[in-house]
Structure formats: structure tokens, C-alpha cells
Amino acid sequence: MVISDKDLKDFLNEKAEFYNRKNFIQSDPIQIPHQYQKKEDIEIAGFLSATIAWGNRTMIIRNSKRMMEIMDNSPFDFIMNHSKKELETVTNFVHRTFNSTDFNYFITSLQNIYLHHKGLENILKPAVGEINYKHSIANFKNIFFELSHEVRTEKHVSNPLKNSAAKRINMFLRWMVRTDNKGVDFGLWKTHSPSFLSCPLDVHSGNVARKLGILSRKQNDWKAVIELDSKLRQFDENDPVKYDFALFGLGVFEKF
């Protein structure tokens, strides 16, 4: 059966509308930044939660909450004002391969970003002439690891220049940049444009996209992200990543 682009767009619009609603939050890691009102708290809670967003979703949410508890549920204040002694007490956190060593460095690096690079919104903003976040994510990684660190920690920030799909950071960017009246994504970063966003490509969204015929590449890598981008931007050039709700919902909740 061949489905027309118009019918496919209508189908994806319908599914995006269905899943992009507040009850989506209760089963998703985005619930962690939704606990906060202050911009910097939302950014940091979102970034850290997205960083460990792989594996079992219940475990992701539980461990994200644990990170917030370690930071006294005031992430920005902790990032900016923690003492060396407080940092030394962060020794018992682990989420799969992300451990206390990594968490300690993330805290230190985030402090450096807010002190010396004007924060996450500034550092991740695409340069003039860019059409997506490929180079800004790569630049972000370079700055994120400009302090002394263990090499093992670098694997927790992806690099599209090395063909990574950068699923978790693209998800974080969706949370921060997309703006609508649905109450799920925050739309906090007014200096960014949703039209630059790329779909957070994972096994679920990738498999659904292939079944729908909008992705042919078999690997979930940056080349696949670009291929999927080109199709989703045909459907909505201003807000292509609203379709992440459709692809993810079809894969996770409907076993499409």
C-alpha cells in the first residue's frame, strides 16, 4: 500500500496532536524540569535528565530525581555555589555507565558554562548561516570539556561531526526551544528557532519512520537524522520536531 504525502502528513499531525498534551509528561523524563519555575533550574534539570535518558524510562526518571535530590532540589544554586566538600560527597550516584565521576564533572562544567560562557542557551545557539544544530552541538562539546576531566566522561555528550545521532541532546533542545500552547515543551530559549531542531532519533522513532517510508537509512546516525529532517521539514518547516511526539508515541505506546 502506497500512502500519499498528504495522507501521511495528516496522519502524523493527528498523532502529534494526540501525544503532545500534558498527560504525556507523567511518563516521560521531561517531568523532571517541569518541577521548576526558574529558567536556569529548568535548563539544568532538563540537560542532566536528558543526559541519562537511555534505558528503562522508570529508571531514568528515578535516577534523574536522585540527581535533583543530591543538588538539594535547587540545581542552579547548587551548580553555582557548591563547595568543594559538597562536591566530594557526590560519590554514590550511578545510572548505567554514567557515574559519580561523570556527575561531578558535569556539575563543574555547567558552573564554568554559566560563569564564563553566558549559559546553555547562548552556547548552543546555532551560528548565522547554519540550518541545524550539528556544529553548535559539536562546539558545545568542545567547550563542555575544556576543563580537566577523565576521558571516560566524554562519551556522555554526543558529537554529530562523528556521525552520532545525538538523540539525547536533540531531545533536550526540543524541550528548551519548541514553543506551543500544549504545556509539554518549554519554549524557553527565545533566541533559538524551532525550525532548526532535529528529531531525537532512537530505536522507536527510527523504526516507525522506516515503516512509514520517511526514512530509508538503516543506522540511527546523523546521516539518518538529516534524511528524516528533510522529510519532516516538508511537512512543517517551522516546527518539524512536533512529529517526534507522533513517531515516539506510535513506537512506544502503540507498538506500531
pLDDT tens-place string over residues 45-100: 999 999 999 888 899 999 999 999 999 999 999 999 998 888 888 888 989 999 99
- pLDDT of res. 205: 94
Q: Tell me if the pTM is above 0.75.
A: yes
- Which pLDDT does position 22 carry in this prediction? 94
Whether residue 9 is predicted with pLDDT greater than 70 in this model: the reply is yes
Q: Average of pLDDT values for 153-178? A: 97
* Confidence check: pLDDT of 214 > 90: yes
pLDDT confidence bin for 231, thresholds 50/70/90: very high
Over residues 203-221, the mean pLDDT reads 95
Q: Give residue 75's identity as a one-letter amino acid code.
A: P
DSSP-derived pairing of the beta strands 98-99 and 94-95? antiparallel
What pLDDT, on a 0 to 100 scale, did the predictor assign at position 216?
96
Residues 166 and 159: beta-carbon distance below 8 Å: yes
In the predicted structure, residue 202 carries a pLDDT above the cut 90: yes
The whole-number average pLDDT for the span 116-130 is 96
Other CB atoms closer than 10 Å to residue 71's CB: what's the count?
22
24, three cell numbers: 504525556
Average pLDDT over residues 137-163: 97
pLDDT beyond 70 at 29: yes
Res. 149 pLDDT band, cuts 50 70 90: very high
Which pLDDT value is given to residue 115? 97
Mean pLDDT estimate for the chain = 95
Q: Is 219 exposed, middle or buried (0-12, 13-18, 19+ CB in 10 A)?
A: exposed
Q: Which secondary-structure segment (H or E) carries 95?
A: strand 94-95
Cell of 137: 552541538
Q: How far is 158 from 3, CA to CA, in rounded Å? A: 35
CA nearest 156: which of 209, 107, 119? 107
C-alpha cell at 184: 509539554
pLDDT at 121 over 60: yes
Query: How far is CA 106 from its chain centroid?
Result: 16
For residue 16, what pLDDT is reported? 96
Does the pLDDT value for residue 186 go beyond 60? yes
Q: Is the pLDDT of residue 225 over 60?
A: yes
Question: What is the predicted pLDDT for the residue at 1?
Answer: 47
Per-residue pLDDT, averaged over 4-33, amounts to: 94
Element (H, E) at 79: helix 75-81
**In whole angstroms, what is the distance from residue 50 CA to residue 52 CA?**
5
Question: Dihedral angle at the C-alpha atoms of 217, 211, 246, 224, nearest 10 degrees?
Answer: 0
